Structure 1
Amino acid sequence: MRRTVLITGTSSGIGKAAVMAFHRHDWQVVATMRNPSRAADFGWPADILVERLDLNDPESIEAARAAAESRFGHVDALINNAGYGLTGAIETCTLEQVRDSFETNLFGTLAAIRAFLPGMRDRNRGVIVNVTSIGGRMTFPFYGYYSAAKYALEATSEGLWHDLYPSAVRVKVVEPGFTQTAFAETGLKMGTIDLPFYRERIQRLTERLKQGNTGTPPDVIAECIVRAAEDPSRRLRYHAGLYAGPLLALQRLLPGTWFMTLLRRNTEK
């Protein structure tokens, strides 16, 4: 019997690549995004169900769940991929920006989990894959709020792992490294408070982001997500992408201040 996966944030990048990766692995795929009309240009196979889902709109989450269950019966895997990054110094982002970031990256993801988890628990079967980042294990300069949201999702995933241990419902976390996506163009919001103390360093970071991304192709991350979803073990974390493995290893080996200095020097150079 074919399994069904619902993926959030599939209009670009990793989410878009994950749609075809799961389809290649013979999953029934529900691809969700805020503007489903964009999928008309993607050339996806006709059996992929495209639905609207906005993490900040609980009704759209419920509607997407109902559409998936009406078409395929139930959802075996939920891939929480949608989100965006807030970039800037802690002092240059407004509190409204911070709240909006957490509403999408954490609370919206939790709303999706709450919508699909009861069905998985009742069937005693299923997997929830939360796509975080190596930024959920370490904090890069001017990515403090992005990492804060990802750290929170990592901690929530660990808590969910403990909660569901008596059941057969699995929890997975995929931590991409630097990836070749349009994230720098479409998935980032910059802090809006202009302070001279930070201006030059933030401008350098902005210019670097505009120069493009030379990381790992999103297809590689998508295959890692499929492996995590199909892994029947209790393993929680998976990482893939440029520098992810070496950085996590260095973090374990180096004293904390040394490691933070290494990140700062390589990010701001």
Structure 2
Amino acid sequence: MKTVLITGSSGGLGSQTALYFANKGWQVIATVYHLDLITDAEQHPNIKHYPLDVTSTESIENAKTAILNDFKVIDVIINNAGKGYRSFVELSCDKEIESIVNVNWLGVVKICRAFIPIFRNQKFGQFINITSVAGLVNLPLGNFYHSTKQAVESFSECMSYELMDFNISVCTVQFGNAPTNFQKNVTKCQTTKIENYKEIMHKIDAILAKKTCKNHDLIETILDKLYHIAENPNKNFRKYTIGFDAKFMKYLRRFLGYKAFNFVIKKKIL
């Protein structure tokens, strides 16, 4: 029986991924910020929950000690924990900037750093780092979220060179807005009297809400793909793009180049 560790498993895609792998016969190490966030629907005999704050090195080390007491081998780690922050640069605040950087980027760095020695001693392992279409293109009001996701893309590719000789594979997974509670939980900047800013925020909110509702089949596609990747690790670094939205934006950006892409986004969105 294989074992997967999934961060950010207290809800949304993380909990659904945990249940999907558990139903496929995997042992699942589901890490959550607080154990009291776990619902009855997330209980499964193949799932064991551990408290872990990806922003805290101490919390990660404590969780790692507990996990290694219970599991001899970890085959795959899925870095899923993440948060959103939608703000204009002018209206951004230090607390929220630091929070999204600590969760979305440094959280991935710290988890990888902590578990590389485990994979290296096992002589195998796989990191699946979930980013977003935000890791591929730059869109309005994506200042902070996109930056962190693109940082994970760069970090993952660089790290893959270091680990290939140890039979440790690394990949990233990008997709668009899935119908989870993620968008509802996105932190936004304070309201403003600046009319231009208000109009842009309204447009972006409406577009993302519409996309999220339309992508009702995306979660199943993501879960199927994550499972396939975990079952078939690739020794070479790979970027897996899932869903129509992400693939369309990826190839549109590549085909048009940044100047034309920028022009299209301004005309179609703003």
TM-score, L = length of structure 1: 0.91
Matched with 1:228 is 229
Q: 1:264 to 1:181 in 2, by over 3 A?
A: farther
Matched with 1:3 is 2
Deviation at 1:131, TM superposition (A): 0.3
In the alignment, is residue 133 of structure 1 matched against residue 132 of structure 2?
Answer: yes
Identity %: 27
Deviation at 1:171, TM superposition (A): 0.4
Q: What's the C-alpha RMSD, in Å, of the aligned pairs?
A: 2.0
Mapping of residues 113-124 of structure 1, within 5 Å:
113-124=112-123
- Point out which structure has higher relative CO (alpha carbons under 8 A, 6+ apart): 1
Deviation at 1:154, TM superposition (A): 0.4
In the alignment, is residue 219 of structure 1 matched against residue 217 of structure 2?
Answer: no
Counterpart-to-counterpart distance in 2, 1:93 and 1:151: 19
Matched with 1:200 is 199
Matched with 1:257 is 259
Counterpart-to-counterpart distance in 2, 1:255 and 1:92: 30
Instruction: State the one-letter code of the partner of 2:60.
Output: I
Matched with 2:77 is 78
Equivalent residues of 1:4, 1:27 under 8 A apart: yes
Instruction: State the one-letter code of the partner of 2:37.
Output: R
1:199-239 Cα distance to aligned partner (Å, 9 max, x none): 22113333555666322432321222222222232241111
Counterpart-to-counterpart distance in 1, 2:266 and 2:52: 36
Equivalent residues of 2:126, 2:233 under 8 A apart: no
Matched with 1:40 is 39
Equivalent residues of 2:89, 2:143 under 8 A apart: yes
Structure 2, unaligned runs of 5 or more: none
TM-score, L = length of structure 2: 0.90
Deviation at 1:7, TM superposition (A): 0.2
Matched with 2:13 is 14
Q: For this pair of structures, how many residues does the alignment match?
A: 266
Q: 1:264 to 1:218 in 2, by over 3 A?
A: farther
Q: 1:208 to 1:251 in 2, by over 3 A?
A: closer
Mapping of residues 38-187 of structure 1, within 5 Å:
38-186=37-185
Counterpart-to-counterpart distance in 2, 1:71 and 1:151: 34
Instruction: State the one-letter code of the partner of 1:122.
Output: N
